[in-house]
Chains A and B, each alone.
Chain A
Amino acid sequence: MKLTLKIWRQKNPKAKGNFETYIMDNVSPKMAFLEMLDALNKKLIEEHKDPVAFDNDCREGICGSCGMYINGHPHGPVPAITTCSLSMRYFKEGDTIWVEPWRAKPFPVIKDLIVDRSAFDKIQIAGGFISVNTGAAPEANSILIQKKKSDDAFDSAICIGCGACVAACKNASAMLFVSAKISQFALLPQGRVEARERVRTMVEKMDELGFGNCSNTGACEAECPKEIKLVNIARLYREYYKAF
């Protein structure tokens, strides 16, 4: 395939960025999207140009490192996958592909497609844990949990922290991300003990870091590569009201 790429280039956080155009010949439909960018970078380096910087690591959709806007969608136009799992078979001869970094005030651009998502860690540090010291845990089967509850907790716990929800939201809200962690622990008896404190500190930190509020448009759910559900946000509200 021959493709035209329009990629956001930005030298550093302070620089003014712009779209650069690159033509890619011979793109195989069996390549992954990031492998196509690898091929572009190889070409750029051989031409003594600066390669495109982007975060990536596991390349199997689980670490949450990669994240870019592709043709107006976080992680591209195919639902329920990350950028690294996006196959080039979804594109066709002659396509123009627009590639941008996450755009949200709490995620400043570092270089090209790399953004600073440390705000997510800060929210987790504020309260995303159960306070149990190593060695103090009871026998695992002494805590009985309904299968349904445990499965629901798992469905919330699979968030990969990529930031697509924030990038997709017109308010740059982190509600889906925060509510997934709140839900996981709120559903489990182990997490109930600190539930009030947790939801208060995490929401407070989220607000302090400049994430916007939720206006229920559901863009986050639609774009989440792990299909985290909006019901988590409802749970967050319930937990939050109970906490005061």
Chain B
Amino acid sequence: MGKLISKIPDGPLATKWTKYKASVKLVNPANKKKLEIIVIGTGLSGASASSALGELGYSVKTFCYQDSPRRAHSVAAQGGINAAKNYQNDGDSTFRLFYDMIKGGDFRAREANVYRAAEVSNQVIDHFTALGVPFARDYGGTLDTRSFGGVQVSRTFYSKGQTGQQCLLGVYSSLNRQIKKGNVTMYPRREMLDLVLIEGKARGIIARNLLTGEIERHAAHAVVLATGGYGTIYFLSTLAVNSNASAAWKAHKKGAFFANPSFVQIHPTCVPQLNEFQSKLTLMSESLRNDGRVWVPKTKGDSRPANDIPEEERDYFLERRYPAFGNLVPRDVASRAAKERCDAGFGIGETGLAVNLDFRDSIKKQGKEAIENKYGNLFDMYKTITGIDSYEEPMRIYPAGHYTMGGLWVDYELMTTIPGLYAIGESNFSDHGANRLGASSLMQASGDGYFILPNTISNYLADEIRVPKIPTDKPEFAEAEKTVIERLNKFISIKGRKTAASFHKRLGKIMWDYCGMVRNEEGLNKALILIKDLRDEFWRDLNIPGEFAELNQELEKAGRVADYFELAELLVTDALNRKESCGAHFREEYQTPEGEALRNDEEFAYVAVWEYAGEGNPHNLHKEELKFEEVEMKVRSYK
């Protein structure tokens, strides 16, 4: 290992995928049935991959930790899903969608993968529509779209503020169809605790049945991770509380390189923290910034109710700083601008850690009904949480950890550095560079699962057709299982005083304070020490009740937090290594006089790819140079 081969096909960008598909090795239908594929996760990428692979005739085994595949966290995505349909005649195209993503990602994503994601986006919308996903429509019966941050066209398809739910239920239905046909076997309430390699190839997993605690061995010819992101490393985030990085991290420790771990998106519009026991921060869709104006008082510590502050005493800081994009600047830019105002003392509310998102002017112009039609459920949701009616007074919002652009390194075929192990959706690194644009994660996850992986995986499996069903009594399975059981027993045997969640919360605070929206060398170095100390304390003073051979939710948490300690160190190391600011990664030392991110293309136009080097050893850094053939690296400006 050591050399990264990205397998990008030759030729012009626009023809790469077509050319690839025309030349890829295929598996004949009779052989597909004999080939087994394990898929971990049932969000948009996992469920779409499972169903598409099932349709092709492979024998698929799909796992999720929830009680039903319909609950994976894609369900919570609100605003929409992008496609280059150009239904609005506003100049959109595959190239423009691609370009917006490359620019939005601050030129730190791989050109060929991003172009392909844009290319399959239209097929994704066609497929969802055929599956009965009720996207919003215009009166003539055609599909409606709306605008999102960081772009100047209207290409986002949506189902009110529940687009993720509707798309997820779409993929869940196609998954169910394959379960009924017997092509997919579903294993809910299972957590993958290790990856099994035989002769260097991914050949199976060790899973824990979360109901019984039983440790299970599952074998396959290939393994697909669709396990989402690691935003809960901050403890408080917009993610589901059980979302975790453990499967990806286990794969990493078995040889899958991890790319750009420090690229974490902090979402600008979330409900601020309300209490000490807060378990998550709820996102308010970015689409709200279409009609909501973000502002703080011009006077420090102005404690008047928002509606009593006259127009001339309000600072619409996004419109002021970024006149071209105004309230629709990309997420990283909007988050930092809010933090800057709050740090300078202009924040509102009891904590001063909030800004206004005001709909007054839009309601005046468009009427309450129009606003209700577009965002009704979001306003309801906000009211449920806070008790405040946003038709009458502004929402209070603050940034929170949201999406991880970093993830397992994959080549053009979405294969990791372990042969036969794939990573799709948010769990890989490939499409969003240093910052993701809104509504492009549903697009990428479904594109990966429905249209890309099913085409690329055959290139690998075509050479596996002579490999008979993999037996689970091989020593490699026994070895992995032993390690897993020893670790679970170790958690229980510590018998300390503190809960897993209490450690998670403290780790999250360290990460938020020193490796969140803004980072600097001193803080990052401090974080490394704090993480290490906390990790030592965890292994000394953890308190896990009960046994491992039973339903034990505390034990589940312990494993996830233990892995987060290790990932946190790598995340900080990556942030230290990247001595530039780009996208969501903002190093204070590297900024323009106006406070904007200052990229260093000379030295850092690469993907930082980290190789695990064994317990206690520093990771090895590999670099995938980013070559831009069709776009020019520019300063990313939204002014």
Contacts and interface: CB of A to CB of B under 8 A. Distances in A.
Contacts of A15: none
Given A28-B277, A35-B278, A59-B240, A121 B176 contact: yes
Contact of B280 (A59, A135, A191): A59
A216 interface: no
Given A35-B275, A191-B132, A134 B52 contact: yes
A115 to B, nearest CB: 9
A50 B544 CA distance: 10
A32 B70 CA distance: 24
Contacts of A135: 123, 127, 451
B468 to A, nearest CB: 28
A128 B179 CA distance: 12
B413 to A, nearest CB: 18
B141 interface: yes
Contacts, number: 217
Interface residues of A, number: 78
Given A35-B277, A56-B241, A143 B73 contact: no
A49 interface: yes
A206 to B, nearest CB: 15
Contacts of B73: 57-58, 63
Interface string B570-590: 000000000000000000000
B551 A110 contact: yes
B554 A138 contact: no
Interface string B525-566: 000000000000000000101100001011000000000000
Interface string B138-157: 11111100000000000000
A145 interface: yes
B613 interface: no
B3 interface: no
B165 interface: yes
Say what secondary structure dominates the interface of chain A. Answer: loop
Interface stretch (B98-106, B341-349, B495-503, B622-630): B495-503
B68 interface: yes
Given A46-B497, A46-B499, A64 B70 contact: yes
B130 interface: yes
Nearest to B273: A30
B173 A62 contact: no
Given A28-B275, A132-B130, A144-B140, A61 B162 contact: no
A128 to B, nearest CB: 6
Contact of B75 (A36, A63, A87): A63
A65 B66 contact: yes
A239 to B, nearest CB: 15
A133 B173 CA distance: 12
B132 A133 contact: no
B177 A131 contact: yes
Interface string B206-249: 00000100000000000000000000000000001110000000
26 contacts: A28-B277, A30-B274, A35-B279, A44-B545, A45-B499, A46-B499, A46-B543, A50-B545, A53-B553, A57-B242, A59-B240, A61-B384, A63-B240, A65-B67, A111-B551, A117-B67, A125-B180, A128-B176, A129-B177, A132-B174, A134-B454, A137-B123, A141-B85, A154-B134, A154-B160, A184-B132
Interface of A: 28, 30-32, 34-36, 38-39, 41-42, 44-46, 48-51, 53, 55-65, 80-81, 85, 87, 89, 110-111, 114, 116-118, 120-121, 124-126, 128-141, 143-147, 150-151, 153-154, 157-158, 160-161, 184-185, 188, 190-191
Given A35-B275, A135-B451, A145-B137, 8 more contacts: A32-B385, A56-B241, A59-B241, A59-B280, A60-B381, A62-B165, A85-B381, A117-B67
Interface of B: 48, 51-52, 55, 66-71, 73, 75-76, 85, 87, 123, 125-132, 134-143, 159-160, 162, 164-166, 169, 172-174, 176-177, 179-180, 186, 188, 211, 240-242, 274-280, 282-283, 380-381, 384-385, 387, 450-451, 454, 497, 499, 501-502, 543, 545-546, 551, 553-554
